[in-house]
Amino acid sequence: MTKIRTYNQISSKGLDRFDRAQYQVGADQQDADAIVLRSHKLAPDEIESSVRAIARAGAGTNNVPVTHCTERGVVVFNTPGANANAVKELVLTGMLLSTRGVIPGMAHIAKQAGGSDNAALSKQMEADKKQFAGNELAGKTLGIIGLGAIGSMVAGMAIDLGMTVLGYDPALSVDAAWRLPNQVQKIENVTALLANSDFVTLHLPVLDSTRNLINDEMVSAMKPGLCLLNFARDEIVDHDAVIKGLDNGQIGRYVSDFPRYELIGRDDVILTPHIGASTAEAEENCAVMAAEQLKDFLVNGNIRNSVNFPALSLDRVPGAETDTRLAISNKNVPGMLGKILSVLAEQDINVIDMINKSRDEIAYTLIDLDKAPSSAAADAIRGIEDVINVTVL
């Protein structure tokens, strides 16, 4: 039995992809082969030596100790794009709530509760509604920082709404560039984007290089009165700088999916409880994608959408028995493949097919063999210096 331990609420549509004849799945699984989680902050000591892979049903992996996993040869997956539409729709909600009098208008109506004369209520509301007038999004400029799965969808939506879209992404992948609507004006530096936008929305990961990206200097570069939306991560924003910006009018509104005590109760702040991806559709998409990627890895050793291992896939030889594939991860140093293949040759095992790729400090190899390797052969490969782990699949 393969054991999968879960954290958080993972959609059953995803977990049902694990056939219970072969998998035990649940929050109580000890000595797990793999972990599926959402926002649970995973500590290194929660990752037992049995764990081979961790799947984040979502985009951000800042809650997983990725460096520690890489050193241990644990593959960390995420599900890029699977919740992008949900976030896009909440960004639209945030923009509309920041610019129309919906929240104060609702609060005003709630204060009228208890009366019975609806004609009088209607007359009063018609008189009061001038307090809740707003502005339209059409014709305004939206700056997007981070043009990946979410940023590109937000860009398309904003263009459809009649907005001008500026985009900044110094690390844009080729795939993401293809997805981006061609009306997006690419800006080479963040300050120029901030100076020319009415709304700015953050859609980048939290990394050492992006922590506190929105700091005092960036706030002072903003077009006065700008609306800043943060559906990315709390740590990307220096909150002292944002509060100063709100107090001096440099920031008109701050919309954030990451509540903080110092922001609660301000009329110029809209907070939501990290619900960017909290739709039935996104939760299902993420869980299904996480489960499928994990199964393909656990059964075949294939890797799709990992944040620390190379993408790699090897078709099973038709009719081949199981237990004839080796999955090997090792430090990315010269000569490893030669040493591994020598062990197999010494054991008189023939290689039918193989693939090897590296990413930063890690290398990963799948080798199909003409017969199952003896435990002595697998142990001999494990014994090679700089081999991290070896699994027979």
Ligand X SMILES: O=C(O)CCC(=O)C(=O)O
The residue (of 191 and 272) whose beta carbon lies closer to ligand X is: 272
Q: How far is the CB of 348 from ligand NAI (least distance, A)?
A: 46
Strands 164-168 vs 141-145: parallel, antiparallel or unpaired: parallel
For residue 10, the 8-state DSSP code is -
Query: Beta-strand (E) ranges in the chain?
Result: 2-6, 23-26, 34-37, 53-56, 75-77, 141-145, 164-168, 185-186, 199-202, 226-230, 251-256, 269-271, 325-331, 351-359, 362-369, 387-392
| Subset of residues 171 to 200 that bind ligand X, contact rule: CB under 6 A | none
Q: How far is CA 263 from CA 97, 104, 129, 360, in A?
A: 17, 17, 27, 40
Regarding 278 and contact with ligand X (CB under 6 A), the answer is yes
Regarding 151 and contact with ligand X (CB under 6 A), the answer is no
Regarding 233 and contact with ligand NAI (CB under 6 A), the answer is yes
List the beta bridge partners of residue 142: 165, 199
| Subset of residues 67 to 86 that bind ligand X, contact rule: CB under 6 A | 83
Regarding 204 and contact with ligand NAI (CB under 6 A), the answer is yes
Of ligand NAI, ligand X, none, which one sits near residue 73, judging by CB under 5 to 8 A according to partner kind?
Answer: none
List for the chain the helix, strand, coil content (%; round to 5): 35, 20, 45
The residue (of 143 and 252) whose beta carbon lies closer to ligand NAI is: 143
d(CA 327, CA 315): 13
The token pair that represents 179 in the structure block: 């997805």
Of ligand NAI, ligand X, none, which one sits near residue 144, judging by CB under 5 to 8 A according to partner kind?
Answer: none
Of ligand NAI, ligand X, none, which one sits near residue 151, judging by CB under 5 to 8 A according to partner kind?
Answer: ligand NAI
Regarding 215 and contact with ligand X (CB under 6 A), the answer is no
Regarding 39 and contact with ligand X (CB under 6 A), the answer is yes
* Closest CA relative to residue 262, chosen from 291, 286, 279, 238: 238
d(CA 231, CA 329): 35
Q: How far is the CB of 83 from ligand X (least distance, A)?
A: 5
The residue (of 65 and 276) whose beta carbon lies closer to ligand X is: 276
- Which of 10, 23, 36, 38: binder of ligand X (CB under 6 A)? 38
Of ligand X, ligand NAI, none, which one sits near residue 39, judging by CB under 5 to 8 A according to partner kind?
Answer: ligand X
Residues in the interface with ligand X (CB under 6 A) total 9
The residue (of 83 and 330) whose beta carbon lies closer to ligand X is: 83
Regarding 59 and contact with ligand X (CB under 6 A), the answer is yes
* Environment class of 165 (CB within 10 Å of its CB; exposed 0-12, middle 13-18, buried 19+): buried
d(CA 377, CA 297): 22
The residue (of 143 and 148) whose beta carbon lies closer to ligand X is: 148
Regarding 277 and contact with ligand X (CB under 6 A), the answer is yes
Segment (H or E) for 241: helix 239-247
| Subset of residues 108 to 167 that bind ligand NAI, contact rule: CB under 6 A | 145-151
Q: How far is C-alpha 224 from the chain's CA centre?
A: 31
Regarding 60 and contact with ligand X (CB under 6 A), the answer is yes
- Which of 100, 274, 316, 359: binder of ligand NAI (CB under 6 A)? 274
d(CA 263, CA 303): 41
The residue (of 213 and 387) whose beta carbon lies closer to ligand NAI is: 213
The residue (of 198 and 257) whose beta carbon lies closer to ligand X is: 257
The token pair that represents 219 in the structure block: 């706030």
d(CA 298, CA 368): 15
Residues in the interface with ligand NAI (CB under 6 A) total 33
x/- track of binding to ligand NAI for residues 75-114 (CB under 6 A): -----x--xx--x---------------------------
**Cα dihedral across residues 239, 245, 249, 251: positive or negative:** negative
Name the residues that contact ligand NAI, by CB under 6 A.
58-60, 80, 83-84, 87, 145-151, 168-172, 176, 203-206, 209-210, 231-233, 257, 274, 276-277
Name the residues that contact ligand X, by CB under 6 A.
38-39, 58-60, 83, 276-278
